[in-house]
Each structure stands twice: as structure tokens, then as C-alpha cells.
Amino acid sequence: MNRRYLRLAASGAALCLTAATLTGCGAVDGLTGDNEVTLRVVAAEYGDNPQNSSAAYWKTVAEDFEKTNPGIDVEVSVYSWSEVDAKVAEMVKAGKAPDIAQIGAYADYAEAGKLYTADELLSVKTEADFLGPLADAGKVKRIQYGLPFVASTRLLFYNEKLLADAGVIPKDAKNGWQPKSWAELEAAAKKLKGAGVPTPFALPLGREEAQAETMMWMLAGGGGYTDNEEQYSIDSPENVKALEFLRDKMVGQGLTGSVQPGKLDRQAAFDAFTRGEVGMLNGHPTLIKQAAGKGVKFGMVTMPTADGTEHSAMGVADWVMAFKNGHRKESGKFLDHLYEAKNVSAFTSMYDLLPVTTTGYRAAQAGSAGGNAPQLKTFLDALPSSRLYPVGKKSWAGVSEDIKQNIGKAVEPGGQPVKVLEEIATKARAADPR
């Protein structure tokens, strides 16, 4: 999962700080005793201000670990999302890779033979606890190198008042709106347009997150970026039909607002939703707090599909990896500690993210049922069967960038989905030879 999709709590507002370095017990690398090891950990910042910085979480995890593992010190450096991937890349290039990195992608390092595998690091209990789709997404050539850290899914958000005023849902409806098909989505958007809503459906295919929005529609149409054999299938008939629907039924009928989808970014769409200018859009958990903070009453449902039947939702994740620095045993111990249920729950609760382990998932379900986070329940329910980006492919970063640059052209009036998808697919296959 490209890191962009799991910045959820930060949503582009991650702290632009100089790295905050945290040493649990005051040990400094190079000054420890002969039999001591200092694990150097680099992590991403998910907070958007000093009060909710991720540094506090890592400090607690490191200190708790050191108490029960004498002889292993943990030094954590926390960087903003805008610099953390580049910082790790610089360290690796200089021959000073961290022992553990919590960043957005792992495939390049795995392909280069720089990472330990999951079974070289983790206890059987920890390794078996990862949710299936997330563990699979962490694999390169069927071997797991990427350890999922946090996850999320996407849902369709809608403005309850706008839909009620437009006659889409009764004003006294108790169960909200439950659309199943794209036809229902189109009909609702037409009513919103007739009621004068500026943007009946926001379709952000701008550079910020075009690959996410695109994947949601592809999955809902029965397609996706890859086939069952994990080979690129970007130009599949199902994907072509999905973009043709967007071009003809949504953009072509003026249901996506005045800004061209290819020039609309995710956060701009979110901001418009919180101002009451958007009737519907796909979103992640960050939008819950943003909309509630502006007093917008909203509902959330699973993304409707082309024919009304169920298809997998899109899941996204950020990753943890351990570099081959000679500290395999020590890194494994720390990672077993990191994935203990209490630590998983502490981080996901802090940022309204979803757990990546079965035990964490069950705990979150219980919490949602008990009223602690009821709005996250629908996101949570979609996680076990979700599909993630093909992040195990070294080529994915380039393919994602190609999608960001070109996919908006496919849904413009007169756009050619077949041609655009074929061009992207051809480059993708060339970059991922079998």
C-alpha cells in the first residue's frame, strides 16, 4: 500500500519536523556495553500536531520492551511522511540502513535482498496473527517481507441533509440510504443536481490519490489492477466498463461538479464535502472527524457495484520491515512486542486506523459494538475481504505514478478509456516481466 493511502489521521498534515529521536533507556548507539545491542528504528509521523505525535507511542513501546529485554536498547527516529521514505532510502544508500523501518513500501528493498523474511523474524504466533489479505500483500514471489503496520478501507460517504432535501431518502428514514448498484448512484446524483447541489458526486482523480479512486471503481466493477495470478490486468474489460460508466454517466451528465476529475485532489473533495457542497464521495476514516467537526451529518455505506452484487472493497496498509544488519534475533523480539494486542490497539485507537492482526481486529469489533468507535465498524467489517494495491511488485510505484498522471483523461468527455488503460497496462507489464 502506497503510504499515501494510510496517512489517514494525518491526511497530508503530518508534522514537518526534524526527526524526533527517542531512546527508551538513555542508551546511545556506540556507547553501549560489549554485549548490548542498539536497535535503530525509523518510523513515520501520523500526528498533525505535537500533542498527538507518533513519537509518544514509540517512546512507550520502546521503554516497555527494554524493561523485559535487558541488553537491547531501542532508538526510534520519527520523521514526517513527506520525508521518511527518502530518509530511509538515503540511509540504505549510505550503507547505514536502520534495523527496522516503518514506512510506505518494502518491495524495492526485498527485491534487492536487503530484508529479513517474516518467518526469519517473528514467532509463529505473531506471524499467524496477521489478517490474510494484508499478509498476502506483504509478499514478494510468495515470500513475506513486508509486515503490515496499520490498515484502512474505503466507504461511500453521503450528506444526509442534501440527499433528504433532494428526495433521495425520506427525511425520517431510520436506516439511512443503502444503495447497491451504480444505477442507484447515478439516479441519486441526478436528483442532487436537480436540487442545485454544486457537486452531486465528487470524483477526485487528481494526483493526490487518483490510483485509490480508480481502484475503488475497478473493484466495484468486478476488475482490479491485477488478476487472480497477480499479473497486471489494468486494461481488462471490467476496468474499461468502469471508466466508461464514469465518463458517460457521471462526468458526461454533469454529475461530478465544475472541476475536472483529473484536476481534483482528495483533500479538496473532502473540504468541499465538509462545506456542504458535495452530496457523495468515496472516503477514508479521516473524513469522519473532518465532517463531524464542521457539523455535517453524514452516512457511510459500502461502495455500490456495477451490478449490485458484492465485490471486494479496497484496503490500504503501511509497512514495517527489518533490514539485514546482523540483528535478526533482536529485531524479531522487538517486532513480536510491537504486534502485541495492546500495542496494536493503542496505535489504531490514537489515529482512527484499523488493526492488521486477527486479535486486534476482534478487539476493535468488540470496541465498536460497545460504542467506543461505532462509526469505524463499517470500515472494519470490510477489512478481512479487502484487496490491496500490488505493493509486492517493485514496478508498482511507477505504475501508480502513471495512473496519477493519465487516468483523469479517460473520463473526460470524449476520453478513450480503452486507449488510456492499454497504454498504462503495456508499460506496467514491461516493468514487471514474468
Which triple of cell numbers denotes residue 81? 511522511
Asked if residue 32 has pLDDT above 80, the reply is: no
Write out pLDDT tens, residues 158-177. 999 999 999 999 867 777 89
Q: Assess whether pLDDT exceeds 60 at residue 11.
A: no
- CA separation (Å) from 247 to 73, 236, 240? 56, 17, 10
Q: What is the pLDDT of residue 25?
A: 41
List pLDDT tens digits, range 257-288.
999 999 999 999 999 999 999 999 999 888 98
Q: What Å distances lie between residue 277 and 201, 281, 309, 356, CA to CA?
A: 10, 11, 30, 34
Percent of the chain with pLDDT over 70: 90
Res 285: pLDDT? 85
What's the pLDDT band for 208 if we cut at 50, 70, 90?
Answer: confident
β-strands 147-153, 315-322: how paired? antiparallel
Angle at the Cα of 208 (from 203 to 213), degrees rounded to 5? 40
- In this prediction, residues 394-401 reach a mean pLDDT of 90
Signed CA dihedral, 135, 332, 108, 282: sign only: positive
Q: Is the pLDDT of residue 28 over 50?
A: no
| Residue 15 pLDDT > 60 | no
Number of neighbours of residue 83 by Cβ within 10 angstroms: 17
Q: Over 70: is that where the pLDDT of 387 sits?
A: yes
Tell whether the model's pLDDT for residue 93 goes beyond 80: yes
| Measured distance between the N- and C-terminal CA atoms of the chain, rounded to whole angstroms | 22
**322-341 tens-digit pLDDT:** 999 999 999 999 999 999 99
Question: Could you count the other beta carbons within 10 Å of the beta carbon of residue 412?
Answer: 17
B/e letters for 267-276, b = 16+ CB within 10 Å, e = fewer, are: bebbebbbeb
Q: pLDDT category, 353, cuts 50, 70, 90? A: confident
Rounded CA-CA distance 302/157 in Å is 9
Do 226 and 232 contact (CB within 8 A), yes or no? yes
Answer yes or no: is pLDDT of 2 > 70: no
304, exposed or middle or buried, with CB in 10 Å at 0-12, 13-18, 19+?
buried
What is d(CA 150, CA 284) in angstroms, rounded to the nearest whole number?
Answer: 13
pLDDT band at 373 (very low <50, low <70, confident <90, very high): low
Cα–Cα distance between 170 and 25 in angstroms, integer? 60
Q: How confident is the prediction for the chain on average, in pLDDT?
A: 89
* Rounded (to 5) percent helix, strand, coil in the chain: 45, 15, 40
What is d(CA 133, CA 316) in angstroms, rounded to the nearest whole number?
A: 10
Q: Which of 62, 65, 60, 148 is nearest to 104 (CA)?
A: 148
Q: Mind giving me the DSSP string for 244-311? A: HHIIIIIITTT-S-SS-GGG--HHHHHHHHHTT-EEEEEE-THHHHHHHHTT--EEEEPPPBSSSS--
Q: Look at 286 and 396; give whichever has higher pLDDT.
A: 396
pLDDT value of residue 27: 38
Domains, the chain: 3-153+316-382 (3.40.190.10), 155-312+395-431 (3.40.190.10)
DSSP H or E stretch at residue 85 = helix 81-93
Report pLDDT digits (tens) over 144-159. Answer: 999 999 998 999 999 9
* Rounded-to-integer distance, Cα 359 and Cα 54, Å: 22
30 vs 245: which has the higher pLDDT: 245
Provide mean pLDDT across the span 49-74. Answer: 95
CA nearest to 210, candidates 348, 375, 66, 403: 403
Q: How many CB atoms lie within 10 A of CB 193?
A: 20
Q: Which pLDDT tens digit goes with each residue over 118-129? A: 999 999 999 999
Tell me what pLDDT residue 382 has. 84
Alpha helix (H) residue ranges in 145-253: 160-165, 182-194, 210-220, 237-245
Q: Between 432 and 35, where is the model more confident?
A: 432
Sign of the Cα pseudo-torsion (60, 380, 205, 431, in order):
positive
